Amino acid sequence: MSIFNGLAAVEEEILKCMKCGNCQAVCPLYKESRQEPAVARGKIRLAAAVLDGRLKPAETLARRFDLCLTCLACVATCPSGVKVDRIILAARTAMVREKGLPFIKKTAFTGLSRPHLFDLGIKTAARLQGVFFKRLEQEKMQPRFPLGLELRRIVPPLASVPFRDRVAETHKVERPAATVAFFTGCMTNYLYPEIGQATLRVLKAHGVNVIIPRMQHCCGAPLLYNGAADMAREMAKSHVDLFGSIRARADAIITVCGTCGEAFKHLYPELLDTTPGYGKKAREVADRIMDITRFLYRLPFNPNLFRAPELSITYHQPCHLGRGLGVVQEPLSIIRSIAGVIYQPLKEPGRCCGNAGSFSLTHYDLSYRVLAHKLRDIKSSGAQMVITGCPACRMHLNDGLTQEQMPQKAVHTIEFLAGILAER
């Protein structure tokens, strides 16, 4: 049974929790609040209480399940191997099914689930954004009005032309070493087209053909992580169809965002398991999903294409990329294989930056407090630049770095690589 069909699917998982409390040592939210409902153990007990009928779904209860970054730190440390994220997602889905979504989320998710409307809406917004945001510099904007965003928050401007509208659908090289399909994700498409461009350039330098299927849209992760599984099903199906059809032509389906990767790799197969005609197909697509750094690492990566960077760097490991997809060593290995790179590690590279997608919208204050730990770590690393493998982490880090007036800038690993390509 799928976790998106009710809490019963995670009964075993709940039972496995021996209540040892070890998750307290690593939960970023518990470290801030020091209250039991914030930690995995607390939320698991709540899920248990719902399952055996002692608690009824309620908006107040849903709020407790919302209090989780799905950062997987607890999962990695749990002696019993409890998959806490599965319990949280099952509980959120169960809450939404009983109580519905809050109005704002419902509106936003409806938008995301209708690709054409969403695309049009964003393009319109890109034209109008000056009305609502003031531009601080090239890449940074601050809301003029509280648009459901904190006024102090620094966000990137929407791209005037989205990435996928800027580039061709296929990019061929002579005598290709491999062919990949590229799933760009929304943030790369609408906020950071430079991440997409960088991906193309580095892949091209390595002699890789790239296909960017036109019909792709939002992976649906924001919906799946917020319990709106029913709305996400069609989105998942269309991507499984789309990438399933080019699977045979592509050696891998590349992502540049750990969360998109998680959606394809782990959530789609779960979501579509019992959907007629989709179970097997979703698993086949999942098998081809690969983070850009893992793909390059296995290609193999050619360090001679790059020249030494001017700045010393550090690396922040995105939760879904590291603990979710298991991409831990690859980005570091490829970066460190380049001659002249000065890498100054963080003390806790895998600690969540606090963004967690929509969590930073609904809980900005808490999200920023979690970020503060990361900023301190960056500061004491002494590095001059932060590299990370996820556009959302990149945004959150830059928000904090700007607000704290720190000199470092955060960029995606692939942007960093594209920036030091020897032949331009």
Partner 1 sequence: MSIAQAIEALRRELGDENVITAVEDLFCYSYDATADLPEQRPDVVVTPENVDQVVKVVKIARQFHLPVYPRGSGTNLSGGTVPVKGGIVLSTLKMNRILEIDPSNLTATVQPGVIIQDLNNAAVQYGLIYPPDPGTVATATMGGSVAECSGGLRGLKYGVTRHYVMGLEVVLASGEVVRYGGKTVKNVTGYDLVRLFTGSEGTLGIITEIIVRLIPAPQARETMLAGFNDLAGAGNAVAGIIGAKVIPATLEIMDRVTVETVENYARVGLPTDAAAVLLIEVDGIPEVVKSEAEAVKRVVVQNGGWIKTAENDEEREKLWSARRAALPALARRKPTTILEDATVPRSKITDMLLALEDIGRRYNLVIGTFGHAGDGNLHPTILADARDEEEMKRVRGAVEEIFRTALNLGGTLSGEHGIGIAKKKFLPWEAGKAGMQVLKKIKQALDPDNLLNPGKIVDLEEDRA
Binding residues for ligand SF4, rule CB under 6 A, total 25
Q: Contact, 141 vs 131, CB < 8 A?
A: no
Residue 394 in the binding site for partner 1 (CB under 8 A): no
Residue 86 or 204: the one with the smaller Cβ distance to partner 1 is 86
Q: Measuring CA to CA, how many Å separate 375 from each of 9, 78, 196, 400, 408? A: 38, 26, 26, 7, 10
Using CB distances below 5 to 8 A depending on partner kind, what does residue 35 bind out of ligand SF4, partner 1, none? partner 1
Which of 48, 61, 62, 74 touches ligand SF4 by CB under 6 A?
74
Residue 204 in the binding site for partner 1 (CB under 8 A): no
| Min separation Cβ 320 and ligand SF4, Å | 11
Q: Contact, 164 vs 212, CB < 8 A?
A: yes
What distance, in Å, lies between the first and last C-alpha atoms of the chain?
51
Q: d(Cα 270, Cα 92) in Å, to the nearest integer? A: 15
Residue 363 in the binding site for partner 1 (CB under 8 A): no
Residue 70 in the binding site for ligand SF4 (CB under 6 A): yes
Burial class (CB in 10 A: 0-12, 13-18, 19+), 302: middle
Which of 2, 5, 6, 45 touches partner 1 by CB under 8 A?
45
Burial class (CB in 10 A: 0-12, 13-18, 19+), 217: buried
| Min separation Cβ 89 and partner 1, Å | 18
Which of 3, 7, 28, 42 touches partner 1 by CB under 8 A?
42
Query: How many CB atoms neighbour CB 318 within 10 A?
Result: 30
Residue 236 or 370: the one with the smaller Cβ distance to ligand SF4 is 370
42-50, 205-213, 254-262, 299-307 -> range binding partner 1 (CB under 8 A): 42-50
Q: d(Cα 387, Cα 411) in Å, to the nearest integer? A: 5
| Min separation Cβ 76 and partner 1, Å | 12
Query: How many CB atoms neighbour CB 273 within 10 A?
Result: 17
Residues that bind partner 1 (CB under 8 A): 12, 15-16, 18-22, 24-25, 34-37, 42, 45-46, 49, 54-55, 60-61, 64, 79-81
